[in-house]
Amino acid sequence: MHRSLRYGVGCLVVLCLVGFRSPAASAAQARRVVTDMCGREVSLPPHIEHVVTAGGTPAVNALLFALGKGGTIVNGLPPVMRSRWKWQAVFAPQLADAPTVSSMGPAWVPDLEHLQMLPHDVVFVDSRATAESLAERGMTTVCLSWRDPQAILKDITLLGDVMECPAQAQAYLDYMQDVIRRVAGRLADLPREKRRTVLYLRVIPLGAPMINTNRFLAEKAGGRYACPADLPLDNPGINIEQLLVWNPDVILVWSAHERQLLLSDSRFRDLTAVRDKAVIVVPFGAHAWTHATPEQAVAILWLAKLLYPDRFADLDMQQEAQAFYKRFFKTDLTTAQLREILRIGSGGSQ
């Protein structure tokens, strides 16, 4: 064999044995691995362009909005939710006409037929059972959770990794820590026994849901959460006798309708919050600010001003909310939109 030919063949063999990577091998090496909020190791594609939020949809959407990734969502909200959660279609306009892939009930139930028809690189869910069920069908699923008091911070960190935007996730975490420091600094000299008590209450049916999220919110805003820590986390029902014992200084409610029910029902008249008309409708943007939403950061400022108006007299919540939504949700809201989100004139408070 000619020497140059032997040399060329030898190089080709070396390339085949050492340097060549099959498409399958390259794809496998490019995949990333994260540990989700259910403790599952998940292998992700190298890049994510389309996502489905099949469980806890409003909360997951809000987290993605805060990371500037709302445009990746390919599914919409269940029809029953679209009116109440109308701001989601402001932050991500494609959601208005996007198909539904799950139904809301005691748990989110994915519609497999509709889900599989949509292009998606990852499916976000809110339970291990759903995550594993979809994974068995070949879908890449990431489980998020709201049970931990620090859940929002952990979810944001995880999503920053999943969506390849760790800098935006860190910017949010830094903002949250700055808010906490601002509030703590103004209330440093206020002893615990003088701090006001607060409770998030659902009137129909009577209950105190989202305990961990709201305890975190109340304590970071300088208050004390009125109900004990040992109640069940999943929408615990309560009775009026319990509520009268806790007797919060301030009660936060879901809607103007629930506020009116609480103020007009004689069974609640001995509550301090009812007597003082300190029953406040919570702001509602991408989600209710008392729920699992990145708006929790600006909610801490809102609640601190509500609890201690003299100490936060210079705090303009419309300006704070406008800056927050512009920075993290990439949306410049009008004054009228901000007033509606803050529920000003509907039983809310600046």
Is residue 210 within 8 A of residue 252, CB to CB? The reply is no
Label the pairing between strands 32-35 and 41-44.
antiparallel
164 Rama sector, left if φ>0, alpha if ψ -120 to 50, beta otherwise: left
**38: which 2 tokens?**
């259910």
Q: Does pTM surpass 0.75?
A: yes
Is residue 306 within 8 A of residue 199, CB to CB? The reply is no
Residues 176-227 pLDDT 10s: 999 999 999 999 999 999 999 999 999 988 998 888 899 999 999 999 999 9
pLDDT (mean) for 149-157 = 93
User: Residues near 84 by Cβ (< 8 Å), separated by ≥ 6?
Assistant: 284
**225: which 2 tokens?**
């959460």
Instruction: Enter the CATH code of domain 191-341.
Output: 3.40.50.1980
Amino acid at 225: Y
Tell me how many degrees the CA angle 251-87-215 measures, rounded to the nearest 5.
Answer: 30
Is residue 55 within 8 A of residue 29, CB to CB? The reply is no
The pLDDT score that the predictor gives to residue 105 is 67
Instruction: Enter the CATH code of domain 20-166.
Output: 3.40.50.1980
Q: Which sequence spans correspond to the domains of the chain?
A: 20-166, 191-341
> Do 20-166 and 191-341 come out as alike in CATH topology?
yes
Q: Which residues pair with 251 in a beta bridge?
A: 199, 279
User: Residues near 139 by Cβ (< 8 Å), separated by ≥ 6?
Assistant: 115, 120, 123
Residues 38-80 pLDDT 10s: 999 999 999 999 999 999 999 999 999 999 999 999 999 999 8
**74: which 2 tokens?**
């390919």
Is residue 253 within 8 A of residue 282, CB to CB? The reply is yes
